[in-house]
Structure 1
Amino acid sequence: MGEKHRVRFEPVGIEIDVDEDKTILRAASEQGLQLMHGCKEGQCAACKSFVLEGDMDEIELDKYSTFALPDMEREEGQTLLCRAHAYDDLVIELLNYDEEIIRSGLPLRKGTVEVLANDPVTHDMRHLVVKQIAGEDIKFFPGQYMDLTVPDTGEVRSFSMANLPNREGVFEFVIKIYPDGVFSQFLENKVAVGDRIEVEAPFGTCTLRENRTSDIVFIGGGAGMAPLLGLLRALSEKDGSERKARLYYGARTRADLCFEDELHALEEKIPGFRYIPALSDHDGDDWDGETGLITEVVRANEPALEGMDAYVCGPPPMVDAAIALLTQRGMDERHIYYDKFTTTGEPEDEG
C-alpha cells in the first residue's frame, strides 16, 4: 500500500482518500462511488475530468490513448480518472457526472463463479451464464458490467450483464468472439459447464435513471445487446411505468440478430415499445425490415427527440455517431447514457 491523499470531487463536494497505488477511479469504486466511466483502460474518455487544485506533476497516468486525452487537453489540466494516480491532495471537477448515480453506487466485490451454460446465439456471439459460488454476494444494477479473469493468464476482460439482479447469484453475458481475443478464444475453445472463473463487479454507469419519466430510445450493435437487454428487462418489470421505448439494433446480416423472440415478447410488456432491427449487409433473402447503418435508420425514424432519454451501447464509432445524431435532433446530452465497447489491447499511444 502506498501513501494516501485526499481527493475532493466538485461540484458534488464528495471527498475520499486515495492510495497512491490505485487509480482515482478504482479508489472511488471500492468506496461505493460510481463516477462516470467506461473502458477503465484510458480509451473511451468517459471519465475525463479537470484538475481544479493540485500540481499536475503530482498526478501520474498509466498508459492511455491520446485519442481519449490529447496532449493539449492534458496540458490544460484535464485527466483520465481511470489512469490517474494521485501523489498529492487534489480537487477534481467532474465534467461528466450524475449525482444520483454517484451517491447510489454499490461497492466492488470479488468472487468465484461457475459456468452454467456457454451457448452460441449467432455465428460469433456466445450467451455465457454463470453462478457465483464463493466470495461476498455481488450486487449490480441493470446495465452494469463485470470483470472476468482468464484462468492461468491474469488477463482481465469486462462484459456487461444481460440479466436482472437475482438472489441466486446468476449472471448472463452476450460476448462477441474475436479471432485473436484472449477471452474470446478461451470462451470459444475451452470453457465448459462446471468451469470456475474469478470475477469482480459492479462497474459501469449506463444504468436506468429511476428519477426520469421520459420516453427512451435504445441504440445498439453487436454485444451492446447485453446491457440493453438488461435495461429493457428492468423496464418491463416496473409496474405502472408509462415510459415508451424503442430499440434500434444494428447488425450486418440476419444471421447476426439474436434474442428476437424475447424482444418481440417485450413489445407486449412495455407500453409503446418497438424493436427495430436494421441490416447493413442484407442479401435480400426474406428481409423486409430496415436496412443501412443503424444511425441512419434512427435519423430516418426520429425527426425530433427533445425531452427524451437515450441509452447507446456498442462499438465506439457507432456510439459517437449516435450521440452526434441524438443531440442534433434535440436531445439533451446529459440524458444520453452510453457504453463504448472497446476491444482490449495496447492503447494507441502511451501518455
Structure 2
Amino acid sequence: MKHTVRFEPVGIEIEVDEEETILNAAFQQGIMLMHGCKEGQCSACKSFILDGEVDLDRYSTFALPDFEEAEGWTLLCRAHPYSDLEIELINYDEEIIHGGVPPRTISTSVVSVAKLTSDIYSLTLKPSEPFEFKPGQYVDIQIPGTELHRSFSMANTDPDTLEFMIKHYEGGRFSGQLADGSIRPGDELNVTGPYGVFTLRPSSPRRLLFIGGGAGMAPILSLLRSLRESGSERARAYYYGARTEADLFQLDELASLECGFVPACSENSNGWRGECGLITDVVSRLEGDIAEVDAYVCGPPPMVEAAIALLEAKGVPEAHIYYDKFTTTADQ
C-alpha cells in the first residue's frame, strides 16, 4: 500500500510504499532530506511524527533511544509508513531540499588501488557511464560476492571517475579486500548513489572552515577541488588531524589548493615540527572569532562531536555547521 507523507514546516508531500523507507522514497523523488549513514546509526535523519504510524527496521538505540521512540521520534532511514503521515523535519536545508539527484546503480571497473598511509587506501573506479554527483557526496559500493555494501565519499569532482580514500579496519569486509589485494584493477564493482548533503551552499558568502581527520579528507578534498575549479574567492581554511607525521598524505596538492591548510599531529613521536595536539585544540588555539563561518566537519564520530561542541561554544550557529560522521561496520 502507498501512503501520503507530508513534511513540515516545508509543506512537501510524497507518496511512499509500505515496503520502502521514507528516506529512500524521498531520494527517488528528488527530495534531499538530511541524512548520514542510512542504516540507523547516526541520527542525522531523526524527525518527529506529528500524526500517523510507522514501522521501524532494526536501528541503533544510540541513534534513537527507546524513550525518544516512545515520544514520537523516528529515523527516516528506518521508517516504513503504515498510514498517512505528517512529519516534522528537525534538520533541513531549504537551499538543497529540492536539489536531489535520484540514486541509481551502475557498474564500475577498478582502475587502481594504492596505499596512501599504513591504513588508508586510494581506490579509483571508472563508471560504465558518466555518474553525476555533487562534490561532498558519497555512494554505496557493493562488497564483491555479497549483497552487502559500504559507503564511501568521493574525493574527486568529475563524472567520469570515482576516487575514494578508504581506511582499513581489522576485519573490514570491504577495506580488508583492498588491504589483502583481493580487489584488483579490472575487477567490476556495483555502485549506488549519489547520497549525502555534505555539499557547499553556493548562496552563502561566509568564510569556509573545514575540519577533518583520517579518511574524512575525501569529501573535503572534493569540495576544495570544486572551489578551485569554479574560481571561488571565498576565504577558507582546512584543519586536518592525524596521529603521526606518517599518517599525513596529499600534502603537495593541499598546499597548491591555497586553502589555508593546517595539518596537526596528536603524537610528537617523529620529530614533527608542525602543529601538535588534537585537531579541535589546534582550531581553538589558532582561530579567533569564527561566529560568521560555514563549518564543514568530517571524520570519526568522536572527532566530529568534539568539533561541533567547539564550534557551538565559539558561537557558530547550528544551521551553519555541516558534518559527515564516518561510522564503521567493520566486523569484530
| Length-normalised TM-score, structure 2 | 0.97
Question: For 1:142, what is the secondary structure of its paired residue?
Answer: coil
8 Å contact kept, 2:117–2:249: yes
Residues 44-79 of structure 1, C-alpha deviation per residue, up to 9 Å, x if partnerless? 11000011111xxx3111111111111221121111
- Of the candidates 288, 303, 314, which is equivalent to residue 303 of structure 1? 288
**Inter-partner Cα distance in structure 1 for 2:208 and 2:128:** 36
**2:25 match: secondary structure:** helix
Find 1:247's aligned residue among 235, 238, 255.
238
On the 8 A contact 1:218/1:310 being kept in 2, the answer is yes
Tell me if 1:80 matches 2:72. no
- Give 1:303 shift: 2.8
Q: Is the 8 A contact 2:36 2:45 kept in 1?
A: yes
Q: Which amino acid aligns with 2:89?
A: L
Q: Residue by residue, what CA displacement relative to the aligned partner does 1:103-156 show, whole Å, maximum 9, x if unpaired?
A: 11111111000011111111111111001116xx43110000010001111110
Give the letter for the 2:283 counterpart: V
Match of 1:312, SS?
strand
Matched, 1:177 2:168: yes
Kept in 2: contact 1:221–1:313 (CA 8 A): yes
Q: Report the alpha carbon displacement of residue 22 of structure 1 after superposing the two structures with TM.
A: 1.0
Gaps of 5+ in 2: none
Mapped contact 1:150–1:186 kept (Cα < 8 A): no
Q: Which residue number corresponds to residue 184 of structure 2?
A: 192
* Deviation by residue 1:18-39 (Cα, 9 ceiling, x = unmatched): 1111111111111111100001
Which residue of structure 1 lines up, in the alignment, with residue 121 of structure 2? 126
Change in Cα spacing, 1:179 to 1:275, as seen in structure 2 (3 Å) is same
Q: Name the structure 2 match of 1:202.
A: 194
Distance 1:143 1:51 in 2: 29
Determine if contact 2:169/2:330 at 8 Å carries over to the other structure: no
Q: 4+ residue stretches of structure 1 with deviation over 3 A?
A: none
Where in structure 2 are the equivalents of 1:1-351 lying within 5 Å?
Answer: 3-54=1-52, 58-133=53-128, 137-166=130-159, 169-189=160-180, 190-239=182-231, 241-267=232-258, 273-285=259-271, 287-344=272-329
Q: Which residue of 2 aligns with 1:270?
A: none
What whole-Å deviation, never above 9, does each CA across 1:238-264 have from its counterpart, x for those lacking one? 23x321111110000111111100000
Equivalent pair of 2:171/2:330 in contact (CA under 8 Å): no
Cα shift at 1:16: 0.7
Q: Write the distance in 2 (CA, Å) between the matches of 1:148 and 1:252.
A: 28
Equivalent residue letter for 1:304: D
> How far apart are the structure 2 equivalents of 1:15 and 1:314?
33
Identity %: 57
Q: What is the identity, as a one-letter code, of the residue corresponding to 1:251?
A: A
Alpha-carbon distance in structure 1 between the residues aligned to 2:270 and 2:175: 31
1:109–1:138 contact (8 Å) kept in structure 2: no
Tell me how large the CA RMSD over aligned residues is. 1.2
Indicate if the aligned counterparts of 1:141 and 1:165 stay in contact, CA closer than 8 A. Answer: no
Matched position secondary structure for 2:39? coil
For residues 200-241 of structure 1, give each alpha carbon's deviation from its aligned partner in whole angstroms, at most 9, with x where no partner exists.
Answer: 0100000011111100110001110000000111111223x3
